[in-house]
């Protein structure tokens, strides 16, 4: 059963669920971290509770690596705003300094051409060594 949030009213269980999901943790994993007394079903029931005792919030906070206050005061809209503004700040910094003067494919083709020239010089050097050795051997005969 899904409940609609009441404006201004904190729902501890929903906050735990949102934090857990944001961290990519499944209910089973949270239950395992909380200990033997916990199960996936118990975590599910916990997430349905509007108000959770401080002692349990402390345990869950420790398992999720967040403070109990973070669970109590979690506001999804504020988090989205922070993430959005942080992303926009990084995007503007990146875009203001990012210029591509050379096409990456052209750069790759240049590197291939350079490798080809190096290989041809290596072959020529080996050919010259062979000819020199043949002359030395011919002179000794």
What pLDDT, in 10s, does the model give residues 117-137? 999 999 999 999 999 999 999
Where is pLDDT greater, at 98 or 43?
43
Compute the average pLDDT of residues 64-89. 75
**pLDDT tens, position by position, 12-62:** 999 999 889 888 899 999 999 999 999 999 999 999 999 999 999 999 999
> b/e for 48-57, b at 16 or more Cβ within 10 A?
eeeebeeebb
pLDDT grade for 141, boundaries at 50, 70 and 90: confident
Kindly tell me if the per-residue pLDDT of 82 is higher than 80: no
Structure tokens at 63: 């398992």
In the block, tokens 């705003």 appear at: 81
């Amino acid at each position: 059963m899904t409940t609609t949030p009441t404006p201004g009213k904190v729902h501890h269980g929903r906050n735990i669920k949102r934090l857990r999901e944001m961290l990519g943790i499944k209910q089973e994993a949270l239950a395992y971290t909380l200990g033997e007394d916990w199960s996936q079903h118990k975590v599910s029931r916990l997430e349905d509770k509007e108000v959770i005792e401080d002692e349990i919030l402390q345990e869950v906070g420790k398992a999720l690596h967040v403070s109990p206050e973070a669970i109590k005061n979690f506001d999804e809209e504020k988090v989205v705003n922070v993430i959005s503004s942080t992303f926009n700040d990084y995007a503007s910094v990146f875009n203001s300094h990012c210029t591509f003067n050379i096409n990456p494919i052209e750069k790759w083709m240049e590197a291939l051409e350079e490798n080809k020239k190096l290989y041809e010089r290596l072959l020529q050097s080996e050919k010259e060594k062979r000819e020199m050795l043949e002359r030395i051997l011919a002179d000794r005969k």
